[in-house]
Structure 1
Amino acid sequence: MSGAALVALLAGTAACGPFGSDDEKAAADGPSFTVAAAGDILIHPQLTEQAAKDAKATGKGEKGLDFDPLMAGIKPVISKADLAICHFEPVAGKPEGPFESYPAFRVPPQIATSIKNVGYDTCSTASNHTLDHGVGGVTNTLNVLDKAGLKHTGSARSAAEAAKPLIVDVKGVKVAQLSYAFGFNGNEVPKDKPWLVNQTDFDRIAAAEKRAREAGADVVILSIHWGRENQPNPSSSQLKLGRQIAEKTGIDLVIGHHAHVVQPMEKVDGTWIAYGLGNEVARHDVPTGLTEEGVIGWFEFTKRGGEWDVRAKYLPTLTEIPPEPDESGKLPAGAVTDHRLLDVAAALRDDKDLSAQRRARYRLAFERTEGTMLNRGASKDGLVPLKSLPQ
Structure 2
Amino acid sequence: MRIKQAALVGLTLIAAAFVAGAGACTNAAEPAAVGRSVSPPAASLARPRTLSVVAAGDLFVPPDLTAQAAADARAAGKPGHDFTQILAAVAPIVRSADLAVCHVEQPLAPPEGPFTGWPTFSAPPQLVDAAAGAGFDTCSTASNHTLDHGEEGVRRTLDNLDRVGLHHSGSARSAAEAATPNVFSVHGVKVAQLAYTFSFNGIQRPPGKPWIANPIDVPKILHDAHAAKQAGAEIVILSMHWGWTEYQNAPDADQVSQARQLLASPDVDLIIGMHVHVVQPFEKIGDKWVAYGLGNLLCRFSDGTAENTQDSAVPRFTFTEVTPGTWRVTDVEVHPMFMAYHPQARLVDVAAAANGVAPGTGYARILQRISGDVNMRGAEAAGLRMVRPT
Using structure 2 for the length normalisation, give the TM-score.
0.84
- CA pair 156-378 structure 1, distance change in 2 beyond 3 A: same
Kindly indicate whether the alpha-carbon contact (under 8 Å) linking 2:55 and 2:101 is maintained by their aligned counterparts in 1.
Answer: yes
**How far, CA to CA, are the matches of 2:292 and 2:300 in structure 1?**
21
Asked if residue 74 in structure 1 is aligned to residue 94 in structure 2, the reply is no
- Report which of the two has the higher share of helix: 1
2:333 corresponds to: 313
Aligned ranges 1:95-110 → 2 under 5 Å:
95-110=111-126
Kindly indicate whether the alpha-carbon contact (under 8 Å) linking 2:270 and 2:289 is maintained by their aligned counterparts in 1.
Answer: yes
**How far, CA to CA, are the matches of 1:357 and 1:48 in structure 2?**
33
Following superposition, the deviation at residue 358 of structure 1 comes to: 12
**Unaligned runs of at least 5 residues, structure 2:** 1-46
1:32 corresponds to: 50
Question: Which has more radius of gyration?
Answer: 1
Structure 1 segments of 4+ aligned residues over 4 angstroms from their partners: 356-359
Kindly indicate whether the alpha-carbon contact (under 8 Å) linking 2:354 and 2:362 is maintained by their aligned counterparts in 1.
Answer: no
Could you tell me which amino acid in structure 1 is paired with residue 189 of structure 2?
V
Could you tell me which amino acid in structure 2 is paired with residue 378 of structure 1?
A
SS of the equivalent of 2:176 reads helix
**How far, CA to CA, are the matches of 1:72 and 1:98 in structure 2?**
26
Asked if residue 283 in structure 1 is aligned to residue 300 in structure 2, the reply is yes
1:52 corresponds to: 70
RMSD value, Cα: 1.8
Kindly indicate whether the alpha-carbon contact (under 8 Å) linking 1:246 and 1:270 is maintained by their aligned counterparts in 2.
Answer: no
Kindly indicate whether the alpha-carbon contact (under 8 Å) linking 1:265 and 1:378 is maintained by their aligned counterparts in 2.
Answer: yes
- CA pair 94-359 structure 1, distance change in 2 beyond 3 A: farther
Following superposition, the deviation at residue 359 of structure 1 comes to: 9.5
**How far, CA to CA, are the matches of 1:359 and 1:235 in structure 2?**
29
**How far, CA to CA, are the matches of 1:91 and 1:362 in structure 2?**
32
SS of the equivalent of 1:254 reads strand
Using structure 1 for the length normalisation, give the TM-score.
0.84
Q: Paired residue for 1:212, among 209, 228, 249?
A: 228
Following superposition, the deviation at residue 280 of structure 1 comes to: 0.7
**How far, CA to CA, are the matches of 1:208 and 1:185 in structure 2?**
24
Asked if residue 389 in structure 1 is aligned to residue 376 in structure 2, the reply is no
Aligned ranges 1:267-282 → 2 under 5 Å:
267-282=284-299
Identity %: 45
Asked if residue 182 in structure 1 is aligned to residue 201 in structure 2, the reply is no
- CA pair 206-249 structure 1, distance change in 2 beyond 3 A: farther
**How far, CA to CA, are the matches of 2:192 and 2:269 in structure 1?**
10
SS of the equivalent of 1:130 reads coil
**How far, CA to CA, are the matches of 1:215 and 1:250 in structure 2?**
12
- CA pair 359-96 structure 1, distance change in 2 beyond 3 A: farther
**How far, CA to CA, are the matches of 2:135 and 2:353 in structure 1?**
19
Deviations 1:104-136 (A, max 9, x none): 011100111001111100100000000001111
- CA pair 357-312 structure 1, distance change in 2 beyond 3 A: closer
Following superposition, the deviation at residue 72 of structure 1 comes to: 0.6
Q: Paired residue for 1:121, among 122, 131, 137?
A: 137
Following superposition, the deviation at residue 140 of structure 1 comes to: 0.5
How many residues align? The count is 340
